[in-house]
Amino acid sequence: MVAQRDSRDARVEVHLDAIRQNVQAFGHHLGQQAGIMAVVKANAYGHGAEAVARTAIRAGASWLGVAFLGEALALRKAGIQVPILVFGRVSPEDAWLAAKHHISLTVFQQEWLHQAQQCQPGDVGLDVHLKLDTGMGRIGVCEQADMQTLVQAIQTADCFRLQGVYTHFATADESDSNYFRMQYDRFKKMLGWLQTWEALPDVIHCANSATALYFPGNVHQLARIGIAMYGLAPAADRKSDLPIPLHPAFSLQSRLIHVKQLDGGEAVSYGAEYITKGKEWIGTVPIGYADGWLRKIAENGGEVLVDGERVPIVGKICMDFFMVRLPAEKNVGTRVTLIGRQADACIEVDEIARMLATINYEIPCMIQDRIPRIYNDAEKNAAF
Ligand SMILES: *Cc1c(COP(=O)(O)O)cnc(C)c1O
């Protein structure tokens, strides 16, 4: 474990060994034909982009995927050299900054190519991936004519190289595969057009985590693995039929910073709405909604782990603190697990997602940078 000063007793512990195992499991699941792009956008879904990227690369990932150019540049600045693809739309005037750092960009607009070409500074070349919208309705080209114009513009300009083509599925996590099949058929048809125009690039990709898990035969050259690399299932209702085991990497830990016994009839937290029923041991935990630990979690019966037992959150969650009802007196400094495991007890990211009526993706993303990320790396520790 990397030592880091942590005077407020709150930390996200990221299990890099779990990430390594998940990437390796995908390597076996997909076989030799498909490479792995580790998706590390949004600070690696809240896990820490640089540490996750390095771990994924060591475990066999050959590409990194991010949403914005800034995220890609930060990885380059950290010294990471593998190919990186930006999924979003980069401003055309920043295209050459990307090129200079060997960062590949997503293209889907004729006007963008024109504007980027206008400000090309000289002999740099830019690698582009053509984005096809097959039914996600987010970004990408849909029409054959638009596709042809784009491809021609790329082919006739010296400064662009068509390195890849891709699409993104809206429903690969669902057990009903009809919409997925429809999107995949459109993708195949569009690849056929590219072939006719002799423009089919080397790197064809379409798989997010759910596609790579449930449709490994439809992956093509590269699988863009996000959520499952972090050990979380893309579909909460299909956790029992995962083809590979997933190891969660994210845990949220704290400590009791205050413990006291209250008499019956005393109130806890804002609004003085929680009233003790008799003498109760109340502990204070230094994490609050400003850290992303939202009030709704308490309203919906939120619990934490103390000494291997579930204990309830009582009263409203404050900006920087919340309180719990302890079964007995505990020492200040006792470990409190908000997400993760203690002995046989476990609070999963999925449980918090259910309480907030959302998907697991949102949970690590919403835990703010105010809580430091600490890396727990069994392999590295073993080497020392
Ligand atoms: C975020 C993202 C992914 C990763 O999706 P997961 O469901 O987390 O695996 C893949 N491709 C694109 C284009 C994305 O934006």
How far are the Cα atoms of 47, 69, 127 from residue 252, in angstroms, in the given order? 11, 29, 39
Cβ burial of 113 (10 Å; 0-12, 13-18, 19+) is buried
Confirm or reject: Cβ of 325 under 6 Å from ligand 1. Answer: no
SS3 annotation, 319-357: CCCEEEEECCCCCCCCEEEEEEEECCEEECHHHHHHHCC
Between the CA of 87 and the centroid of ligand 1 the distance, in Å, is 9
Over residues 184-196, mean pLDDT? 98
- pLDDT value at position 43? 98
In the predicted structure, residue 4 carries a pLDDT above the cut 80 = no
- The mean pLDDT value of the chain amounts to 96
Cα–Cα distance between 330 and 257 in angstroms, integer?
A: 10
Confirm or reject: Cβ of 364 under 6 Å from ligand 1. Answer: no
Active-site positions read 41, 270
- pLDDT value at position 8? 83
- Provide the sign of the torsion angle of the four alpha carbons 169, 170, 173, 174, taken in this order: negative
- Tens digits of residue pLDDT in 367-377: 999 999 999 88
Confirm or reject: Cβ of 140 under 6 Å from ligand 1. Answer: no
- pLDDT value at position 173? 96
| Local confidence band at 380 (pLDDT 50, 70, 90 cut-offs) | low
Question: Which tokens in the block code for residue 115?
Answer: 């504007």
- Residue 375 gets the label, from left (phi > 0), alpha (psi -120 to 50) or beta, of beta
Question: Which tokens in the block code for residue 374?
Answer: 């600490």
Between the CA of 252 and the centroid of ligand 1 the distance, in Å, is 24
Instruction: Specify the residue for token string 């880091």.
Output: 4
